[in-house]
């Protein structure tokens, strides 16, 4: 890695370097939770790379690592470039870190050319986008954007370790918030985590925004009974009813024939014995679309179908909305700059929506946002098979540098 020249290949190699111990707390795979030993080790490596690129480095009160490259106008609002360095368990190596590495490469390229923009550039390595350690997500970007409720800091991880005891000063945590007007824009490069770019034969694409999301917890209750003595016509099988509901959820989403997606990601049958008819089933529903109205229509249709199935099978149904995230559109003017940078880099202009959440959706409360998606093999993410071609990362770097130059000209 140290022998690689600056550029996209080095960014990918650095992600690979952070995929093993001591930058992972999981034997045989990658897991880097917020404020874990692996997180601290990764920050130390990143700090060295940021400093080598010409940045002054600090750790803010929310334990984000921030590198600052001065601009010609010292107090001008900064361009923020960022993504996250925490991971899910048994993760891939590029979800999050690649955006940070490409931000460092952008600054290094400017430094090498002796180029300073009129505005400062700050590269953020956010610490808690995934929420894989503490039962909350995007804590650190919410702190920076100034949208974090102080009550959200009263939480503990699965081992019972409170955030206040994990290596941060909770009393000062909200001081990570940037002052209004201190950021001109936020740019995030990220692997697509989906198959669209690969299917279209494209290395990169402009993100139009992050999809609106609804999440429900559903409980279906029937009657538990003996698997051998209860006649089929007399059963109130909660699992059979839930199975029909899962298929109905899939049918609603497929028939919409749009960017709408609906997923049952977790299901539990109780009491969970091989010789007992399930009397209760709990499952989740996740509904997303770039169009909030489309998402809401689909969710209503899904809930109607669930009620119909429950009534037909003499089952009790309870649904609880547990997550409601609005759509987060990217800034139209910044999307145009990104499209121009794509074209200048010899890439076809392609726009697509993000079905996954990103720190950009939080940072939109602070400043206009832009995102660039990078092709990933098979659309696979949150999986050790996650893969990015270094050549695609090089294309992304050229596009990001073109975006920065255009942003400077427009400022």
Residue-level pLDDT at 137:
85
With vertex at residue 88, the alpha carbon angle to CA 161 and CA 130, rounded to the nearest 5 degrees, is 75
Residues in CB range of 123: below 8 A, 6 or more apart: 50, 55, 66, 67, 69, 80, 81, 82, 100, 103, 104, 107
What is the residue whose two structure tokens read 């090089």? 394
Residues in CB range of 346: below 8 A, 6 or more apart: none
Provide the mean pLDDT of the chain: 96
Q: Are 210 and 327 in contact (CB under 8 A)?
A: yes
What end-to-end distance do the CA atoms of the chain give, in Å? Answer: 36
In this structure, which CATH number among 3.30.70.360, 2.60.120.380, 3.40.228.10, 3.40.50.300 belongs to the domain 212-325? Answer: 3.30.70.360
Residue 325, pLDDT > 90, answer no
Residue 322, pLDDT > 90, answer no
Residue-level pLDDT at 199:
97
Mean per-residue pLDDT for 154-160?
Answer: 95
- Residues paired with 261 in a beta bridge: 288
Residue-level pLDDT at 216:
96
Task: Please write down the HEC assignment for all residues of 70-109.
Answer: CCCCCCCCEEEEEEECCCCCCCCCCCCHHHHHHHHHHHHH
Task: Decide if domain 8-210+327-410 falls under CATH 3.40.50.460.
Answer: no
Distance, in Å, from the CA atom of 308 to the CA atom of 285, rounded to the nearest integer, reads 17
Domain ranges of the chain: 8-210+327-410, 212-325
Rounding to the nearest 10 degrees, give the CA dihedral for residues 98, 15, 196, 187: 0
Residue-level pLDDT at 2:
57
What is the residue whose two structure tokens read 């209004």? 180
Distance, in Å, from the CA atom of 223 to the CA atom of 235, rounded to the nearest integer, reads 7
Chain centroid to CA 279: how far? 36
Q: Are 45 and 58 in contact (CB under 8 A)?
A: no
Distance, in Å, from the CA atom of 2 to the CA atom of 14, rounded to the nearest integer, reads 9
Three-class SS of residue 275?
coil
On the 0-12 / 13-18 / 19+ scale of CB atoms within 10 A, 375 is buried
Percent of the chain with pLDDT over 90: 94
DSSP strand pairing (212-221 vs 204-210): unpaired
Residue 194, H or E segment: none
Q: Which two tokens mark 329?
A: 């559109």
Residue-level pLDDT at 411:
75
- Residues paired with 262 in a beta bridge: 287
* Model confidence pLDDT, tens digit, residues 264-315: 999 999 999 999 999 999 999 999 998 999 999 999 999 999 999 999 999 9
Residue 3, pLDDT > 80, answer no
* Model confidence pLDDT, tens digit, residues 179-231: 999 999 999 999 999 999 999 999 999 999 999 999 999 999 999 999 999 99
Distance, in Å, from the CA atom of 78 to the CA atom of 183, rounded to the nearest integer, reads 5
pLDDT band (50, 70, 90) for residue 74: confident
Residue-level pLDDT at 1:
55
What is the residue whose two structure tokens read 């969710």? 299
pLDDT band (50, 70, 90) for residue 4: confident
Q: Are 211 and 358 in contact (CB under 8 A)?
A: no
Percent of the chain with pLDDT over 70: 99
CA nearest 27: which of 16, 38, 42, 40? 38
| HSE toward the beta carbon, residue 122, CA cutoff 13 A | 23
Residue-level pLDDT at 310:
98
DSSP strand pairing (78-84 vs 121-126): parallel
Q: Which two tokens mark 178?
A: 């940037």
CA distances, 106 to each of 12, 100, 125, 271 (Å): 14, 10, 14, 55
């Amino acid at each position: 890695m140290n022998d690689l020249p600056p550029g996209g290949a080095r960014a990918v190699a650095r992600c690979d370097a952070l995929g093993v111990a001591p930058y992972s707390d999981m034997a045989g795979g990658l897991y880097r939770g917020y404020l874990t030993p692996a997180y601290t080790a990764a920050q130390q490596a990143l700090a060295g790379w940021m400093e080598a690129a010409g940045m002054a480095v600090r750790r803010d009160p929310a334990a984000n690592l921030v590198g600052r490259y001065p601009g010609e106008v010292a107090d001008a609002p900064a361009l923020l470039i960022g993504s996250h360095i925490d991971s899910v368990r048994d993760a891939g190596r590029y979800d999050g870190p690649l955006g940070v590495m490409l931000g460092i490469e952008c600054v290094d390229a400017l430094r090498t050319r002796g180029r300073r923009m009129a505005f400062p550039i700050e590269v953020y390595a956010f610490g808690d986008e995934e929420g894989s350690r503490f039962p909350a997500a995007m804590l650190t970007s919410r702190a920076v954007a100034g949208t974090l409720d102080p009550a959200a800091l009263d939480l503990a991880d699965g081992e019972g370790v409170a955030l206040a005891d994990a290596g941060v000063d909770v009393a000062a945590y909200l001081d990570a918030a940037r002052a209004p007007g201190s950021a001109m824009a936020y740019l995030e490069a990220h692997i697509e985590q989906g198959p669209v770019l690969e299917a279209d034969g494209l290395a990169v694409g402009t993100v139009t925004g992050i999809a609106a999301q609804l999440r429900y917890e559903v409980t279906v209750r029937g009657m538990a009974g003996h698997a051998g003595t209860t006649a089929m016509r007399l059963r109130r099988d909660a699992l059979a009813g839930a199975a029909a509901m899962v298929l109905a959820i899939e049918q609603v989403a497929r028939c919409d024939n749009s960017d709408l997606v609906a997923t049952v990601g977790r299901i539990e049958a109780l009491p969970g014995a091989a010789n007992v008819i399930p009397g209760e089933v709990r499952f989740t529903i996740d509904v997303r679309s770039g169009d909030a109205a489309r998402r809401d229509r689909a969710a209503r249709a899904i809930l109607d179908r669930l009620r119909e199935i429950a009534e037909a099978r003499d089952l009790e149904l309870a649904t609880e909305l547990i997550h409601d995230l609005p759509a987060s559109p990217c800034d139209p003017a910044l999307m145009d700059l990104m499209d121009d940078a794509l074209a200048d880099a010899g890439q076809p202009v392609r726009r697509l929506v993000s079905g996954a959440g990103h720190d950009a959706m939080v940072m939109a409360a602070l400043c206009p946002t832009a995102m660039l998606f990078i092709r990933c093999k098979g659309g696979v993410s949150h999986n050790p098979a996650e893969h990015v071609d270094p050549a695609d990362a090089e294309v992304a770097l050229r596009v990001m540098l073109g975006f920065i130059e255009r942003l400077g000209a427009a400022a």
